[in-house]
Amino acid sequence: MKPFTLTAPLDVPDALDQFRAGSAYLAGGTTLVDLMKLEVLTPGHVLDISLLPMHGIRPEDGGVYIGALERMSDVAEHELITAAYPVLSQALTASASPQLRDMATIGGNLLQRTRCGYFRDPAVACNKRVPGSGCPAIEGANRMHAILGTSDACVATHPSDLAVALVALDASVELIGDGGPRRVPLAGFYRLPGAEPHLETDLRAGELVAGVAIPALPAARRSVYVKVRDRQSYEFALTSAAVAVAVSDGVIAEARVAAGGVGTRPWRLPAVERALAGAPMRQEAFEAAVAHAADGARPLSQNGFKAALLRRTIIRALMTLAA
């Protein structure tokens, strides 16, 4: 790890004032410290923001607001989340390990960097790390990589389980910078790689993630997160599905579906949602609805199986809710 200076601002204005080019914010540190050890990230100045007033889980406009510095494990167990948004609790519990969930924050989870092995190895090229250097994953080891939203410059998979569930629920992220606070729909916060994969989010220089706002959604009470992975614990998704449904007399009135493990960002599936609306809660209806889940996919040499696995993952989630 390269040398750096460390400060701990006590309020948001102080944190914003101290931020300079080459700085980094530190909360739980479960991503940043790893990348600093690998020398993938080498900030000269680290700002420990753990003392900033960005905590709390509270009702807001019928929905819920979660402070960015809340720990993942605390959010997963909170009564407002388990009662009204079980998909969030399950997505958080499916993430990382218990020890990491006790340290990692909500804001840090949403801003975590890809687990692409090429990105995390400074000895090889990576357009996310060094723009214009190339993307070895396109022709190399790419079993875990994305099939949706990819470009000729990057095929890295978005890593956050939580973000997938939040996108399904139309959540917004609150950002605060020199211009004051602003809220951005999370679905639009993450950028497609295009020709500039190093630009991953709509976050402006020096801005902080202050929290996440989740609207009141009747469908969210009947929701589930299904994650398919190579092992049961501490593994990133091959595919995942966040699914929420509102059902009336055995018929789906509203469906919300987002996928993980397959896209360069959390991937909402509006075609599947439209096909489910008005359908009965039966397996044959689910199988018909997911037919177009992977439309537009660009499989690589080792991950073509993900299209079929994604459809099966969504069906498993729906069958879980039907039961």
Confirm if 227 and 240 have CB atoms less than 8 A apart. Answer: yes
Confirm if 155 and 142 have CB atoms less than 8 A apart. Answer: yes
CA 237 to CA 230: how far, in whole Å?
8
Residue 90's pLDDT is 98
**At 203, is the secondary structure helix, strand, or coil?**
coil
Q: In this structure, is residue 242 part of a structural domain?
A: yes
Q: In this structure, is residue 297 part of a structural domain?
A: yes
Number of domains making up the chain: 2
**Residue 188 CA: distances (Å) to CA of 110, 159, 200:** 13, 16, 11
CA 317 to CA 94: how far, in whole Å?
14
Q: In this structure, is residue 106 part of a structural domain?
A: no
pLDDT digits (tens, 9 = 90+) for 112-123: 999 999 999 999
CA 306 to CA 250: how far, in whole Å?
30
**Bridge partners, 247 (sequence order):** 252
Task: Check residue 156 and report its DSSP letter.
Answer: P
Q: In this structure, is residue 173 part of a structural domain?
A: no
CA 89 to CA 294: how far, in whole Å?
26
> How much of the chain, in percent, has pLDDT values that exceed 70?
100
Q: In this structure, is residue 180 part of a structural domain?
A: no
What average pLDDT does the chain have?
97
pLDDT digits (tens, 9 = 90+) for 75-113: 999 999 999 999 999 999 999 999 999 999 999 999 999
CATH number at residue 226: 3.30.390.50
Residue 132's pLDDT is 98
Q: In this structure, is residue 178 part of a structural domain?
A: no
Residue 233's pLDDT is 85
Residue 54's pLDDT is 98
CATH number at residue 37: 3.30.43.10
pLDDT digits (tens, 9 = 90+) for 193-247: 999 999 999 999 999 999 999 999 999 999 999 999 999 888 999 999 999 999 9
**List of residues 6+ apart from 316 with CB closer than 8 A:** 226, 241
**Residue 37 CA: distances (Å) to CA of 1, 3, 10, 31:** 5, 11, 26, 10
Confirm if 18 and 52 have CB atoms less than 8 A apart. Answer: no
Residue 234's pLDDT is 85
pTM above 0.75, yes or no: yes
State which residues form the domain around 287.
Answer: 222-322
CA 72 to CA 161: how far, in whole Å?
11
CA 257 to CA 269: how far, in whole Å?
6
pLDDT digits (tens, 9 = 90+) for 259-315: 999 999 999 999 999 999 999 999 999 999 999 999 999 999 999 999 999 999 999
Q: In this structure, is residue 36 part of a structural domain?
A: yes
Scan for tokens 């079993």, then name that residue.
Answer: 143
**At 273, is the secondary structure helix, strand, or coil?**
helix
pLDDT digits (tens, 9 = 90+) for 119-154: 999 999 999 999 999 999 999 999 999 999 999 999
Strands 63-67 vs 208-214: parallel, antiparallel or unpaired: antiparallel
Strands 5-7 vs 223-228: parallel, antiparallel or unpaired: unpaired
Residue 232's pLDDT is 87
Average pLDDT (16-27) is 97
Residue 69 pLDDT level (bands cut at 50, 70, 90): very high
Q: In this structure, is residue 310 part of a structural domain?
A: yes
